[in-house]
Chains A and B, each alone.
Chain A
Amino acid sequence: MNSVEDIISQVSSLPLLPDTALKLMNVMNDPQSTIDNIVDSVKYDQAITGEVLRICNSAYFGVSRKVTSLNDAMLCLGTVKVLQLVMAVHTNSMLSREQVGYGLEPGVLWKHSVAVALASSLAAQRLKIPDANLAFTAGLLHDIGKVILNEHVAKEFAEIVRRVTDDHISFGEAESQVLGYSHEEVGGMIAEKWRLPEPIIRCIRYHHDPGSLDPPDTLVDAVYLANCVCLLLGVGLGEDGLFYRADQSLMERHQLHEHDLELIGAQMMTDLQRVAELFADGTSASLAHEPAHR
């Protein structure tokens, strides 16, 4: 089987996103949703309910009284924050494995994904996107294609790197040439299979190439910027390094300066450190440190 057929069959056999996550994303996406709708979408999932309560009662939120129910949690902490954390917990199992092809140790892709999610929210605010909630989820899932493409990249790594070096193309372009698909294309296929909201599919598919969308999509721009900032600052940087294209026109379109990127980066890092504390004592995962065996 060649890599193209292999990748397609792997996408189709990938398990669906857990029901709860999908429901959550849809209620988050709907401005009409009430707290009751949101609670309804998660309350039958014991694992998530437990995780939400654990997170809400952690030092991170500093709530003085004990949060004992989902309703309580939503009222106390704001629905968005809770939902974002739930999504982060949810993607952990998918994204935490080692990605040998990209030189990412266990946990590092997830850390990168959470960092990009946080930075996407910040970028969405800076770009004045009215519904910034989607940006977090889109950021969190932007690299999902790497989970499948990883083993193919590992096999063809030398050839991909040769093309990146000799032909001065981006890592994604080299993936596409050598394997038939780039990780963002595979990510787009997965997102479609999962029936994610259309704006999120676009963010995943075009997170390295926002300039190919006509008209431009501001949410994609936000995720693109967030990813650039996190890569530049080395959060979850793999063997693909910074071999991705910078998009000048996007900066001009939004009248952004270096300063804006640096502010997003500094705030993202502060937020990431706080979120890391949140997961440090948990059973779910640790964002606190680089893996010990690196």
Chain B
Amino acid sequence: MSKEVVRAMDQVVDIADLQVSAAPGVVLVTYSLGSCIGVSIWDPEVRVGGMLHYMLPDSSLSPAKAETNPAMFADTGIPNLFRTAFKLGAVKKRMIVKIAGGSQLLDDKGTFNIGKRNYIMLRKIFWKNGVLIDAEDVGGSVSRTMRLDVRSGLVTLRNRGREVEL
């Protein structure tokens, strides 16, 4: 059903975590994106890829936690993801950016809208920094798994046992 087979070069990006790699053959993967957002970036020229799985929109909630773990929040995690990729030679204007997640509970009134707030914060940060989103799959109530193949730049999304290209 949802069985996910082991893949040799999977490098797991945990919740509130980011990973960047230039190693061909490495696949960055993050599991169970609910209201969290997975950000995948890839520079086709130098073949550097990065992935962030952030939990919450705004580090002002707890500056101390943001200090220890910047990947917990959008406003500290996103800049960190890009900076880490720049160190490996990636360049912003070449970057292909894909995002997934931001799910919600069944909620007519938008009470528990962490997912939506996560998405709005990301759009704001991207807009300020002139970053365009190449593809996205956000919202709904599904759980998503996101993969980025560092060699090819292929990003796939999996939910309910189906894996599709993003």
> Is A161 in contact with B1, judged by CB distance below 8 angstroms?
no
A242-273 vs B, CB cutoff 8 Å, 1 = contact: the mask equals: 11111110010000001101110110011000
Q: Does A289 contact B (CB under 8 A)?
A: yes
Q: Does B160 contact A (CB under 8 A)?
A: yes
* B side interface size, CB within 8 A: 40
Q: What number of A-B contacts does a CB cutoff of 8 Å give? A: 124
User: Which stretch (A85-93, A117-125, A212-220, A229-237) binds chain B?
Assistant: A229-237
Q: Does A211 contact B (CB under 8 A)?
A: no
Q: In the complex the two chains form, what is the Cα distance from A251 to B14 in whole Å?
A: 29
Q: In the complex the two chains form, what is the Cα distance from A170 to B115 in whole Å?
A: 18
> Is B34 in contact with A246, judged by CB distance below 8 angstroms?
no
Q: Does A290 contact B (CB under 8 A)?
A: yes
How many A residues are at the interface, by size bracket? 35 or more
> Is B103 in contact with A289, judged by CB distance below 8 angstroms?
no
Known A-B contacts A232-B105, A233-B55; A261 and B72 likewise in contact (beta carbons under 8 Å)? no
> Is B31 in contact with A294, judged by CB distance below 8 angstroms?
yes
Q: Does B142 contact A (CB under 8 A)?
A: yes
Q: In the complex the two chains form, what is the Cα distance from A235 to B34 in whole Å?
A: 9
Q: Does A65 contact B (CB under 8 A)?
A: no
Q: Does A238 contact B (CB under 8 A)?
A: yes
Closest CB of chain B to A125's CB: distance in Å?
Answer: 16
> Is A100 in contact with B34, judged by CB distance below 8 angstroms?
no
> Is A251 in contact with B34, judged by CB distance below 8 angstroms?
no
Residues of A within 8 A of B36 (CB): 232-234
Residues of B within 8 A of A244 (CB): 105-106
> Is B34 in contact with A242, judged by CB distance below 8 angstroms?
yes
Residues of A within 8 A of B103 (CB): 232, 241-242
Q: In the complex the two chains form, what is the Cα distance from A290 to B62 in whole Å?
A: 26
Q: Provide a sorted-by-A list of 30 A–B residue pairs whose CB atoms are within 8 angstroms.
A: A103-B1, A103-B2, A157-B1, A161-B160, A228-B112, A232-B34, A233-B55, A234-B15, A234-B34, A234-B35, A236-B32, A238-B2, A239-B160, A241-B141, A241-B159, A242-B34, A242-B103, A242-B105, A242-B106, A243-B106, A247-B111, A248-B107, A248-B111, A261-B112, A262-B56, A263-B61, A263-B62, A265-B114, A294-B6, A294-B31
Give me the interface of B with A, judged by CB distance under 8 Å: 1-6, 12, 14-16, 31-36, 55-56, 61-62, 65, 72, 103-107, 109, 111-115, 117, 141-143, 159-161
